[in-house]
Structure 1
Amino acid sequence: MASKSGGYHMLEDLTIAILLKLPVKSLMRFKCACKYWYTLIRSSTFVKKHLHHQGNNARLLVHHYNYSTEKYSFALFQDETLACFPLLYYDVDDVQIPKHPNIFGHCDGMLGVCDCDSIALWNPATREFSFLPMPDPNIPSRFSVFNNRFGFGLDPITNDYKVVWIRTYYFSEEYENYHSAVIVVFYLSTNSWRLFEADLSRVAYVHESLCSTCLNGVYYWLTSMLDKLGLRTTYYYNAILTFDLSNEVFGDIPGPRDIPVVNSGNLIIYNDSISVMCFDPREVEKYVDIWVMKEEGCWSKQLTIGPLVDVDRALGFWKNGELFLETSTSKLVLYNPNTQEIKDLQHRGLYNSLRIFMYKESLVSIRGGNECWKGDNVLNTA
């Protein structure tokens, strides 16, 4: 006969096992059931177990243009079949960024959202949305902004979420001498930024990744680097810029040598490895090449898909090797390389505006998620 203590622990384990299978929306309601459930569901141990539970499958989140509302929207497919309906929609008004929002990264169910004036973190499942304090731009005198690139990931040592912001500038009167960068790092635990000192003078251009390219506590960007061969000769080559989120150290890794610097593709994570997806939209019959980094600086062409016609962009992979494509009419389709079948996912964007993300529901709370100078920032998506 089990002891009272043993029976209690069995009941507790059964309760946790059941709760882990529930969606975030239900768990947010159940926090009000009793003090025990409130404490349990908010605990870091339960939040982590729920995020990585085998039943919490990644779903497709599409950033697209909604022609019916004439606004940009976020559409979340409810299952892995990618059936057109039902879909859960988040309009730009819900996200509270007045201009065209761009998702710059995602990590553990949180999305980084920005426009030219605002940066925010958003958890669609918990409906928390919080603007980050804007850091001092610290723009060098007589310089103008060239581009902004972000990285968003988890420091595996401190368990702190960090945003890396690389601002590249060029000299207003001499465009060629733009190689100046200001780097700031945001810490979710303290809700604050820190100016970061690093020499990125050899980085000519930081490419925007198609997805979050954070792997094992390191964030990766595909870059075009430059070397001076003589007084006036400049040589450009591909490289991978890295940032260790724990040690907060930048590094660089040689990229694939057999791809051109111009139109060199996008960085993705393919089969749990850092990879470069090459796609040249100028060709009539287009091919997608996947270069995988097996070891640091060692690349091999893993896959070639094609020929493809009537396609403007390759956006990334779904499960079982299916490929998301944007057609010449800005439609989102799913291409099966084995059967060559194309599935229309019933979404369109404006030219080169479609973005896709593999999204997992999460209970991770955004610090200060209910405090916002723009008013109540808990999203109402019901």
Structure 2
Amino acid sequence: MATSDNGHRPFPEDLDRNILLRLPVKSLLRFKCVCKNWYTLIKNPYFIREHLYNCSKSKSLQLLIYDYGALDGSPPITLISDHGVAPLHENLDYFQRFRGMTILIGSVDGIYLLERISDEKISYALWNPAIREVRPLPEPKIQFSTREGCFGCGLDPSTNDYKVVYFIKNRYAAVYSCSRDSCRIFEFTFKIFHSSKNCIVKFIFGTAYLNGAYYWLIREWVTEGVKCSFLSFDFSNEVFGEIDGPDHYSDPKMPILFDDSIALLNLSADCVYDIWVMIQPGVWNKRFTFQCFPYFKSWYSSTVIFVTKSSRLVSYNVKTQKTTHLGLSYPGLKGVSYKDRCAVYPYKESLVAIKRENEELGHCNYLEIFDSSIEL
């Protein structure tokens, strides 16, 4: 390796940084051991945010498949990327420990919220699969459950603090802060839920987080059809808000992110979908109409993930109108119950650490805390 006059370094420091920013997380975790300078750089919050930004701008497809009905000996978690279908990590024993999840929510900056029920006890944790860190959430003073209420995860951009919000309509809400490692509980009586016709759509297919706010779709049945609006939560101010949806009555399915804007995926007819993009709060523009496969699974960048009638996973890019078979075929892809279905989530590599400060527990210890009541 060539050397130079800058202290026998093979490359200038800024060139080192630019090269490292383009490497995958797996390589960076190994390179932390090369030298003290690299370790400090890779752990630097500014480097982590810049690396995450680079990953976010990548158009390469990455999907995390969680098989809720995986048989013993089969990995419950699989990764689909441009390189094909493969386990997310070569250490299959690690991912066997994630059996029995009742739901995954996310991801935001590569972080997922996990829910597990055992002996009627519900536990939650944050998980970054790229760096294999798990952060169990403290036992709440109120009952959390995805069957009663709704969750959202996001970053408070004013403090760089990751938070989890939970609410039950007309009852209470709670906000967990990673930096404080505590939960703030307050009354939740938002006006849009006073009508018994209002029904919130739990967003479990991906993420509806954008620029410090999380969004849930609310559907209300009216004479003309289904009217939709959006409930938002600002992670900086920790307040809820409401945004009018498109003035269009059909079958709104879910909020999505499209070109750094909140958008709505709407079913307008049998297997015919519309995409409405929010130009500004309450102002919408219909951008695309397309016909595709019947079983909708997820959304990734400008790509919709569907399942064919023959249980094959496919992607459809609404901009290029290109359909791609993703190489995965499994009956559970069409399943709707947690016992026999596969969930599909966007996956983003991230160096974001979620361990508590000054905590020296290793990865296995974290999982043991989360799995303390689970027989593996």
Scaled to the shorter chain, the TM-score interval is: 0.7 to 0.9
1:208 aligns with 2:211: no
CA change 1:181–1:330 in 2 (3 A) is farther
1:297 aligns with 2:282: yes
Q: Deviations over 1:303-333 (max 9, x none)?
A: 1111x45x23253245xx4431123454322
Deviation at 1:341, TM superposition (A): 4.4
Equivalent residue number for residue 314 of structure 2: 333
1:130 aligns with 2:135: yes
1:358 aligns with 2:359: no
Equivalent residue number for residue 185 of structure 1: 175
CA contact (8 A) 2:101 2:114 kept: no
Q: Deviations over 1:126-158 (max 9, x none)?
A: 11112111211269xxxx986221111111111
Write the distance in 2 (CA, Å) between the matches of 1:223 and 1:6: 60
Write the distance in 1 (CA, Å) between the matches of 2:93 and 2:211: 32
CA contact (8 A) 1:92 1:101 kept: no
Equivalent residue number for residue 375 of structure 1: 368
CA change 1:201–1:137 in 2 (3 A) is farther
Equivalent residue number for residue 224 of structure 1: 219
Write the distance in 1 (CA, Å) between the matches of 2:344 and 2:181: 28
CA contact (8 A) 1:313 1:327 kept: no
Of structures 1 and 2, the larger Rg is shown by 1
Tell me how large the CA RMSD over aligned residues is. 3.6
Write the distance in 2 (CA, Å) between the matches of 1:30 and 1:49: 17
CA change 1:109–1:55 in 2 (3 A) is closer
CA contact (8 A) 2:48 2:351 kept: yes
Equivalent residue number for residue 20 of structure 2: 19
Equivalent residue number for residue 198 of structure 1: 188
Write the distance in 1 (CA, Å) between the matches of 2:324 and 2:56: 28
Deviation at 1:237, TM superposition (A): 4.0
Structure 1 gaps of 5+ residues are 169-179, 228-232
CA change 1:7–1:98 in 2 (3 A) is closer
CA change 1:149–1:328 in 2 (3 A) is farther
Write the distance in 2 (CA, Å) between the matches of 1:92 and 1:73: 11
CA change 1:342–1:138 in 2 (3 A) is closer
CA change 1:147–1:250 in 2 (3 A) is same
Aligned residues: 343
Deviation at 1:69, TM superposition (A): 4.5
CA change 1:46–1:271 in 2 (3 A) is closer
CA contact (8 A) 2:77 2:95 kept: no
After TM superposition, list the pairs within 5 Å mapping 1:252-291 onto structure 2: 252-260=242-250, 263-279=251-267, 285-291=270-276
TM-score normalised by the chain length of structure 1: 0.76
Write the distance in 2 (CA, Å) between the matches of 1:273 and 1:16: 30
1:250 aligns with 2:235: no
Q: Deviations over 1:266-306 (max 9, x none)?
A: 111122211111127xx6x4201112111111122211111
Equivalent residue number for residue 374 of structure 2: none
CA change 1:186–1:59 in 2 (3 A) is farther
CA change 1:54–1:153 in 2 (3 A) is closer
Structure 1 ranges of 4+ moved more than 6 A = 3-10, 90-93
Write the distance in 2 (CA, Å) between the matches of 1:33 and 1:218: 38
What secondary structure is seen at the aligned counterpart in 2 of 1:115?
Answer: strand
What secondary structure is seen at the aligned counterpart in 2 of 1:276?
Answer: strand
